[in-house]
Amino acid sequence: MPRHASYIPHGVIPAVLLPFDNDLAIDEPNFRKHLRDVAAVEGLSAITLNAHSTEVGSCTFDEQRRVLDIAQDEIGARLPIVNGIWADGSIEAARIARMAAQGGASALLVFPPAPFTLGQSPAMALAHFKRIADATDLPLIVFQYPLATGQGYPKDTLLKLCEEVPSIRAIKDWIGNVPHHEWHVRTLQHLARPVNVLTTHSAWLFSSLVLGCNGLLSGSGSVIADLQARLFRAVQGDDLAEAKRLNDRIEPLMRVFYADPFVDMHNRMKEALVLLGKLPRAVVRPPLVKIQAAEIARIRQALVEAGLLDKSARDAA
């Protein structure tokens, strides 16, 4: 299976969506098309799957393996693939890691175990990551949640992880606190063995990138990978005027995608792709439910404001 040797997570990494049929089975033909559409964008570093954006919590182990196989078949020769590790227990996490390595993934995005919502210790976090690292030598991305969730890693724990698990090469930063986020950027990217900060603060992506992140990893890249890639290049090139212009296009979509309830963000992105003619339907698996017409109308308006949908198409709808 294809694997991109020595890949270090960096740059613009969209997390793709997973289309379903009306009977809630994976819609393989439209998933393949979606993968090709996103991967065709210039300036990407990798593609992420088996994550929040692909509704991984509702996918079986075999479905996750199939999702990775399809992605390898469609885009694996072109781009590295980051495979999510979503599991409440470390033994299952290691099993998924081995599957992803065998399937040709180039890096792993490690979600925090749900039991950490009840409390965690540095020893628990280390045990989880070491179990995964012992299963594969692939680079690991630590998914850093807000500390208030209980699943985020305090500064001392995160530093200990980076020190004692050499395969940790990046974090997906969702800390939700600007000074703490800046601490990540200033500290982790300047360790003896640097750990890249990939922002997932998509609702304030421009501000986050200006702090100096070495990349971004976002589900909204399933819809606006091109705008994200152009924004990242503008910030990297210190062209803040262009970055602000791009941010003005991105902002209306972030306002609707990340509205309450937050859990519907990828549900809304599927609706956006239907409005853009890139998916035939926006089906989600329970407990998610289809969003209502008024909200779809707000998404349509945001696509118009972002310059992605012609106003006449909005008016005709």
**What is the distance of C-alpha 191 from the center of its chain?**
24
Report how far apart, in Å, the C-alpha atoms of 1 and of each of 23, 81, 85, 142 are. Answer: 30, 11, 19, 24
Query: What is the reported pTM?
Result: 0.96
SS3 content of the chain, % helix, strand, coil (to 5): 50, 10, 35
3-class state of residue 217 by DSSP: strand
How far is residue 247's CA from residue 227's CA, in Å, rounded to a whole number?
8
Q: How far apart are CA 279 and CA 139, in angstroms?
A: 32
Among the residues of the chain, which ranges form H helices?
A: 28-39, 61-75, 90-102, 122-135, 155-164, 178-188, 205-210, 221-236, 240-257, 265-275, 293-305, 311-316
> Residues 209-240, buried b or exposed e (16+ Cβ, 10 A)?
bebebbbbbbbbbbbbbbbbbbbbbbbeeeee
pLDDT < 50 regions, the chain: 314
Cα end-to-end distance, the chain, whole Å: 44
In this prediction, residue 260 carries a pLDDT of 96
Residue 12 makes CB contacts below 8 A (sequence gap 6+) with: 43, 44, 45, 215, 216, 221, 225, 228, 229, 232
C-alpha to C-alpha distance for 56 and 100, rounded to whole angstroms:
14
DSSP tally for the chain: helices H, then strands E: 12, 8
> What pLDDT is recorded for position 287?
96
Note the pLDDT of residue 184. 98
Return the closest-CA partner of residue 295 out of 316, 315, 271: 271
Q: What domains are defined for the chain?
A: 11-238 (3.20.20.70)
Which residues, in sequence order, are bridge partners of residue 144? Answer: 173
In this prediction, residue 209 carries a pLDDT of 98
> How far, in whole angstroms, is CA 95 from its chain's centroid?
21
Instruction: Please return the burial class of 170, using the count of CB atoms within 10 Å of its CB with bins 0-12, 13-18 and 19+.
Output: buried
Contacts of 186 (CB under 8 A, 6+ apart): 212
DSSP state of 306: T
Asked whether 80 and 107 are in contact (CB, 8 A), the reply is: yes
Report the C-alpha gap between 290 and 279 in whole angstroms: 15
Instruction: Report the pLDDT value the prediction gives residue 312, as an integer from 0 to 100.
Output: 65
